[in-house]
A and B are shown apart, each in its own frame.
Chain A
Amino acid sequence: MARIFAYIVHKSGVADDSAAELAAAARQIDAAQSPAAVVTGWGADLDAVCESLRSTFSEVWKIAHEALAYPNAEIVRQALVNVLPAGSLVLVPHAHFGTDLSPGLSVKMKAAYVPDVVGIDGVDGAALKLVRQEFGGQLSAHIRCDISSGAVISIRPGAFKALAGGAAAGQVVDKSSSAGTLVSKRRYLETVAAETGDVDITKYPVLVSVGRGIQEPDNIPIAQELADALGGAVSCSRPVVDAKWMAKSRQVGSSGQTVKPKVYLACGISGSFQHLAGIKGNPFIVAINKNPKAPIFRAADIGIVADILEFLPELTQSIRER
Chain B
Amino acid sequence: MEILVCAKRVPDTSENEIELNAAGNDIERGDLVYSVNEADNYAVEEALEIVERTGGTVTVVTVGDDDDEEILRREMAMGAKQAVLLSDEAFEGSDGRGIASILAAFVRKGHYELILTGVQADDGAAQVGGMLAAMLDCPFASLVTSIEVLEGGKLKIGREIEGGNKELYEIDLPCVLSIQTGINEPRYVGMRGIRQVASVPIPTLHKADLGVNGFAGKAAARVTRTDYFTPTAGHGAEMLTGNHDEIIGKLIELLKSKGGLT
A residues neighboring B (CB under 8 Å): 72, 74, 95-97, 99-100, 102-108, 112-116, 132-146, 149, 151, 184-195, 205-206, 212, 230-232, 238-239, 241-242, 244, 248-249, 251, 254-258, 262-263, 270, 284-287, 291-293, 295, 297-306, 310-311, 314-315, 318-319, 322
Contacts and interface: CB of A to CB of B under 8 A. Distances in A.
B229 A100 contact: no
Contact of B161 (A103, A191, A257): A191
A85 B178 CA distance: 29
B182 A238 contact: yes
B247 A304 contact: yes
Contacts of B181: 238-239, 242
A96 B161 contact: yes
Given A104-B134, A301-B237, A263 B259 contact: yes
A185 B131 contact: no
B259 A205 contact: yes
Contact of A138 (B18, B161, B260, B262): B18
Nearest to A293: B17
B197 to A, nearest CB: 26
B239 A100 contact: no
B238 interface: yes
B118 interface: no
A173 B154 CA distance: 38
A270 B185 CA distance: 22
B252 A287 contact: no
Contacts of B240: 302-304
B200 interface: no
List 7 tightest A-B contacts by C-beta distance, closest first: A103-B130, A194-B164, A303-B237, A263-B260, A242-B182, A107-B134, A104-B134
Contacts of A143: 223-226
Interface of B: 11, 13-14, 17-20, 27, 95-97, 100, 122-131, 133-135, 138-143, 156, 158-172, 175, 178, 181-182, 185, 222-231, 233-240, 244-245, 247-249, 251-252, 254-255, 258-262
Best-surrounded residue of A136, A138, A314, A322 (most CB of chain B within 10 A): A138
Contact of B260 (A193, A262, A318): A262
Nearest to A248: B164
A99 B141 CA distance: 9
B227 A230 contact: no
Given A140-B229, A189-B168, A135 B11 contact: yes
Nearest to B168: A189
Nearest to B42: A242
A95 B20 CA distance: 28
Contacts of A97: 161
Contact of B244 (A132, A238, A306): A306
B40 to A, nearest CB: 14
A112 B97 contact: yes
Contacts of B251: 286, 302, 304, 315
9 contacts: A100-B130, A102-B127, A107-B135, A138-B13, A189-B156, A256-B163, A284-B259, A293-B17, A298-B237
A100 B14 CA distance: 26
A137 B231 contact: yes
Contacts of B236: 297-298
Contacts of B133: 104
A238 B180 CA distance: 11
Contacts of A107: 97, 100, 130-131, 134-135
Given A133-B124, A185-B175, A298-B236, A249 B164 contact: yes
A136 B13 contact: yes
B259 A262 contact: yes
A230 to B, nearest CB: 6
